């Protein structure tokens, strides 16, 4: 929460990244009541620190008035080296996936985190952005992990439900894109189990 002190927050972020290997920070403009595109005194120092540390930024999207996906476009423009994940692909409480997809189309450093995204919106994201810009997410425990994993499975099926998406593309969405963005080598047995369940 930048209202509690941006400098102190950046100090804590540096500590967590350097001492504990944190790979990403999340901003929640709606919970903390600020427009990230306008309140630059709150958001930009965090983006600057994220850029210096070489980590990623996730921003909650899908609520009014502070978390519309389009409000994140100036951040993506002004910090092109920072990977920015639009949380919930703009869907959480409002149907703003079109807005999130549009921002992703215009900025190479913008990715869509898929929790709350229903199958049809995910298919639209694949159609317009390809599979390199989608990151599997669940927002668990609010949502069932299996429901979101099933969406990725269905993408591999033929139309009208699926898109005949290849196993390689589904694995990108499931974990390889995140692995690349965050510099991780996943060793989570659950991720491996879900991945191995994807039909070839």
Q: What is the pLDDT of residue 90?
A: 95
- Looking at residue 189, what is its pLDDT? 42
pLDDT at site 110: 98
Looking at residue 118, its pLDDT comes to 94
pLDDT in tens, 168-192: 999 999 999 999 999 875 444 444 4
Q: What does the angle CA 178 – CA 118 – CA 138 come to, to the nearest 5 degrees?
A: 40
Residue ranges in the chain whose pLDDT is less than 50: 186-192, 195
d(CA 169, CA 146): 19
pLDDT number for residue 16: 97
What does the alpha-carbon distance between residue 195 and residue 200 come to, in Å, rounded to a whole number?
10
Kindly report, residue by residue over 64-92, the tens digit of the pLDDT.
999 999 999 999 999 999 999 999 999 98
Q: What is the pLDDT of residue 3?
A: 96
Res 196: pLDDT: 52
């Amino acid at each position: 929460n930048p209202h509690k002190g941006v400098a102190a927050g950046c100090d804590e972020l540096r500590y967590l990244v350097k001492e504990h290997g944190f790979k990403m920070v999340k901003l929640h403009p709606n919970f903390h009541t600020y427009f990230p595109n306008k309140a630059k005194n709150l958001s930009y120092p965090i983006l600057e620190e994220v850029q210096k540390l070489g980590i990623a930024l996730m921003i909650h999207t899908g609520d009014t008035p502070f978390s519309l996906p389009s409000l994140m476009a100036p951040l993506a423009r002004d910090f092109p080296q920072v990977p920015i994940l639009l949380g919930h692909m703009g869907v959480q409480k409002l149907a703003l996936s079109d807005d999130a997809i549009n921002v992703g189309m215009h900025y190479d450093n913008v990715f869509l985190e898929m929790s709350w995204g229903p199958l049809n919106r995910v298919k639209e994201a694949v159609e317009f952005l390809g599979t390199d810009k989608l990151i599997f997410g669940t927002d668990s425990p609010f949502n069932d992990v299996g429901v979101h994993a099933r969406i990725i499975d269905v993408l591999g099926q033929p139309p009208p439900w699926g898109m005949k998406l290849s196993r390689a593309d589904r694995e990108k969405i499931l974990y390889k894109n995140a692995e690349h963005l965050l510099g991780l080598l996943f060793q989570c047995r659950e991720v491996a189990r879900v991945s191995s369940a994807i039909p070839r």
